[in-house]
Amino acid sequence: MTQALHTPPPTAPAPAEAHDLAALAARHGLSVSGARPSLPEYVRQLVARRHFIGAFATAKLTAQYSQAKLGQVWQVLTPLLNAAVYYFIFGKLLGTSRGIPDYIPFLVTGVFVWTFTQSSIMAGTRAISGNLGLVRALHFPRAALPISFALQQLQQLLFSMAALFVILLCFGIPITASWVLVLPALFLQFTFNAGVAMVMARMGAKTPDIAQLMPFVLRTWMYASGVMFSITAMMAKHKDMPSWVSTALQCNPGAIYIDLMRFALMDSFHANQLPPHVWAIATGWALLAGVGGFIYFWKAEETYGRG
């Protein structure tokens, strides 16, 4: 049953022969190994791996602090310390808090929500290039990786939100019906983050240098998104600035999701501080990034792991 086949001379096989092999493969119903599945098939495979996505995210999250003495307490402690540092610098030293009621809840919400976007994108950039071992060892739709990293950051945010609720209550912010809006806001932001993470994952897989560049891009984006200051308050101070600058800043996805969260949680943050059609814009960003990012990522599916 085995053919004694010695090394063929290192010349290209005749085209006819190559054709024969392809035909033979087709006759026996063999498929090309590692070929990119169709988009619906890809979605189906991804849904089949949902448990892996969840387990991988949770595993990464728990593994993070497993060597620390305080263990999982750091999940809450880290964002709190972050918020404390920002409060000290921006609230006390630079005085951006002027004109903003409930500055601490305002700041902490901004920091937590922004951190979710920022770390999802950073983790997404390294999702493929930092996990080549996994990509080269096992079969799964590669989109599972950036989505899983975004999910890990969402779980991290939920820990932060628990701390945030305590802070809000400490500052006497009443629990209102609008707190329910947290859920759709988080859902839209997660979709947006996962989408951008997928775009960055493909770019980072091809050019790993992007991971070095991203912190600078993200920091610039953070300062443009009103994390530690109010865009409306700043615009009120600079009357000479054209109004489209303010609209552009307010409509950027970074600011949109932060302000939606503030609007949902804080009674002192009013609807007039939000841009018009805010939910439509938030949904639009989520759809654009989520669907676009997914298709963009899928287009290069068969190339991940080359290197």
Partner 1 sequence: MAEPVNTDIPTVIADAVDIVYRVNGTGAGRGSATAALNRIVRRRKSEQAAGVRKVHAVKKVSFMAYRGEAIGLIGTNGSGKSTLLKAVAGLLPVENGHIYTDGQPSLLGVNAALMNDLTGERNVYLGGLAMGMSREQVKERYQEIVEFSGINEKGDFITLPMRTYSSGMAARLRFSIAAAKDHDVLLIDEALATGDRSFQKRSEARIRELRKHAGTVFLVSHNNKSIRDTCERVLWLERGELRMDGPTDDVLKEYEAFTGEKPKS
- CA neighbours within 13 Å on the CB side: how many for 261? 29
Q: Which of 209, 110, 206, 222 is nearest to 160 (CA)?
A: 110
CB of 99 to partner 1, least distance (A): 46
First to last CA, the chain: 36
C-beta atoms surrounding 173 within 10 Å: 18
- Does the protein bind partner 1 through residue 18 (CB under 8 A)? yes
Sign of torsion over alpha carbons 41, 46, 50, 51? positive
Question: What part of residues 103-142 is at the interface with partner 1 (CB under 8 A)?
Answer: 131, 133-140
Rg (CA), the chain: 24
Classify residue 298 as exposed, middle or buried by CB count within 10 Å of its CB (0-12, 13-18, 19+).
buried
- Does the protein bind partner 1 through residue 22 (CB under 8 A)? yes
Q: Which of 16, 40, 51, 216 binds partner 1 (CB under 8 A)?
A: 51
- Does the protein bind partner 1 through residue 306 (CB under 8 A)? yes
**Residue 18 or residue 175: which is nearer to partner 1 going by CB?**
18
CB of 179 to partner 1, least distance (A): 32
**Residue 35 or residue 280: which is nearer to partner 1 going by CB?**
35
CB of 128 to partner 1, least distance (A): 13
# chain residues binding partner 1, by CB under 8 A:
52
CA pair distance 193, 206, nearest whole angstrom: 20
Residues found near partner 1 in the complex (CB under 8 A): 1-8, 10, 12-13, 17-18, 21-22, 24-25, 28-35, 48-49, 51-52, 55-56, 59-60, 62-63, 66-67, 131, 133-140, 208, 302-303, 305-307
